[in-house]
Amino acid sequence: MARDLPSADLVAAVENARRGFRHVDTWIFDLDNTLYPASCNLFAEVDRRMSEYIARTIGVPKEHARHLQKAYYRQFGTTLSGLMKVHKLPPGPFLDYVHDIDLSVLPELPELRAAIAKLPGRRLIFTNGSRRHAENVAQRVGLLDLFEDICDITALGYVPKPQRDAFDSMIKQHGVAAERSAMFEDMPQNLVAASDLGMTTVLVHSDYIDHPAQLKIRDWRALPAHIHYLTRDLTGFLEAEIVSVPA
């Protein structure tokens, strides 16, 4: 099981399945629970506010709102997609409400900053959240100026990861060559399309569980084909696997 895999900073796929990083010139990072440690529990506040918004807007008890929130997340990729499709709710007020959170729990991350700053080439944030949220979070942890741009859910036309169309849109908008890219993400299902497109994929794993796909990690005996590397420490991984490796 995944918890029985070696407890080093990273767990990599079988040697001949690795795509490596020497060819990579574009570095694509998810935001929540990827560019900051899930242990700070910031996303739990976003999660709570989603339920509040659904309960208030649709007029259902909080328990039912919570059920709808998670059901839509599993079915449509994001809760927002379900609210738009099923209830015809506009996305703007939802995004504004759920991302109106206290960021004081986020630490500055100078070691991660140093590691990302050494990555050769372009750097992008690719998130199912809003640009404003991504900017606020990345600024708080001291990373914002390292990124060329942010591809958020609005830029994607509200088509979220893990859908292939979201990746195709991001690639087209930013002129990304997938086969020369690496993607870092905390949700394993969001790396399927990335791998299919030719990206080197890294799962940033934690004990935070918000989706059935994360629960399945416990039963892994080896990494699935669409995940080339797994790490619990993004900073350590970048330093060990990329930054310190001779060109």
Say how many CA atoms lie within 13 Å of 157 toward its Cβ.
9
Phi, psi dihedrals of residue 34, rounded to the nearest 5°: -125, -55
* 219-243 pLDDT, tens digit each: 788 899 999 999 999 999 999 999 8
Q: What is the pLDDT of residue 18?
A: 63
* pLDDT given at position 206: 81
Q: What is the pTM of this model?
A: 0.89
Which amino acid, residue 103? L
- Ordered structural domains, the chain, with CATH: 2-38+108-243 (3.40.50.1000), 42-98 (1.10.150.450)
Question: Look-up: residue for tokens 């969001």?
Answer: 190
Interval 169-179 mean pLDDT: 98
In this predicted model, what pLDDT tens digit does every residue of 129-167 receive, in sequence order? 999 999 999 999 999 999 999 999 999 999 999 999 999
Distance, CA of 220 to CA of 3 (rounded, Å): 9
